[in-house]
Amino acid sequence: MNLRNKTAIITGGAMGIGLATAKRLIKEDCIVTLWDINEAALKEAKQELEKINGRVFIHICDVTDKNRINELAKTAYDEMGDVDILINNAGYVKGGEILEQPVEIWEATIDINLTALVYTIQAFLPKMYENDRGHIVNISSAAGMLGDPGLSVYCATKWAVWGLTESLRFEAFNNKKFGVKYSSIHPSFLAKGLFAGAKLGPLGNLIVPLVKDHDVIAKAIVESALKKGSYSPKRPRTLNLVLRLRAALPDKLFQKVLVVMGVTKSMKTWKGRTTDNKEEK
C-alpha cells in the first residue's frame, strides 16, 4: 500500500505501540485519528504529533462501548473523508493465574482484547468492502502462539485475534474483495510498557530477546504489514522458530522446550506499567 494521503484509525493510540505507529504513519503523509481512554495522554500525543506536521484527530473512546464505536466511526468519515486503515491496538493485561483474579478481570480482558475488535471491524468493514480497499491490522502477541502461565486469559484472547484475522482474510477472499487486507502482529515481551519486567530464561532470552522499544513493532506494522502486505509479522523474527518447533517436535518434547526456554516462569518478574494496564504494550 502506498500510504501517502491515506487515513488511519488507531485504537489505544495515545501511548506505546499506538503512538509510535502514528508517528511513522505521519511521516508517510497519512492522516491519523487516535482513540484512547486516557484524555490527558491523547492531548499530549496530539501536541507531539502536530510538532512533526501531523494531521491528527483525537477522541476519547472506550473500545468496549459499541455505541461509542459506531458514533466515532461516523465522526471519522466526517473528519477524514474515508478510513483506509484500522489498527486495533488497544489492549488490556492483568497478570496472575486464573484463580488469582476475580472473573471481572478476565471479562475485561476478553472484552477489550477480543470483543472490541468485532465492534471496530463491523463499524469500518462495510465501507472497505464497498470500496474494495482497506487494511485492518490486529495486534496479537507472541502469547497468541504459545501458552504462558500467569497470562492464560490474555493468551486466549491473543490466540483468538490471530484466528479472527486469518478467518476474515479468507472471508474477504470468498467475497472477492481482494483489495481488503488483514494482518496480525505478534510482539514478544517489550522491555518497557505493559510487559516491563517479564522475560524468558537465559536460553529463551538469547533466542528471543526482549523487544527494545515500541518503534520496533510500529515499524513491523507500517513497513511489513501495510507496505508489504505481510500477514503476520513477528518480532523478534526468531519467534517464527516457535511455529517450526511446534510443527517438528512431538507435543511432549515441545512442552519441555518451552520449560527450558523459561516460558513457564516468564511472568514471575513482571511489573507492568505503574498506571492502569489498559492500552496496548
pLDDT for res 280? 47
Give the Cα separation of 255 and 249 in Å (integer): 9
Closest CA to 239 of 158, 166, 185: 185
pLDDT digits (tens, 9 = 90+) for 129-148: 999 999 999 999 999 999 99
Give the Cα separation of 148 and 103 in Å (integer): 19
% the chain with pLDDT above 90: 91
pLDDT for res 194? 82
Question: What φ, ψ does residue 112 adopt, rounded to 5°?
Answer: -80, -45
Q: Domain 7-265 is classified in which CATH homologous superfamily?
A: NAD(P)-binding Rossmann-like Domain (3.40.50.720)
Average pLDDT of the residues in 203-221: 95
Give the Cα separation of 198 and 89 in Å (integer): 20
Average pLDDT of the residues in 195-222: 93
Give the Cα separation of 234 and 256 in Å (integer): 23
Q: Which of 129, 154, 182, 231 does the annotation list as catalytic?
A: 154
Asked if residue 279 has pLDDT above 50, the reply is no
pLDDT for res 273? 62
pLDDT digits (tens, 9 = 90+) for 3-37: 999 999 999 999 999 999 999 999 999 999 999 99
Average pLDDT of the residues in 247-254: 96
Active site residue 154: yes
Instruction: Give domain limits for the chain.
Output: 7-265
Residues 273, 276, 281, CA angle at the centre, nearest 5°?
50
pLDDT for res 281? 43
- pTM reported for the whole predicted model: 0.94
Binning pLDDT at 50, 70 and 90, where does residue 235 land? very high
Give the Cα separation of 225 and 133 in Å (integer): 15
Cell (9 digits) for 191: 522491555
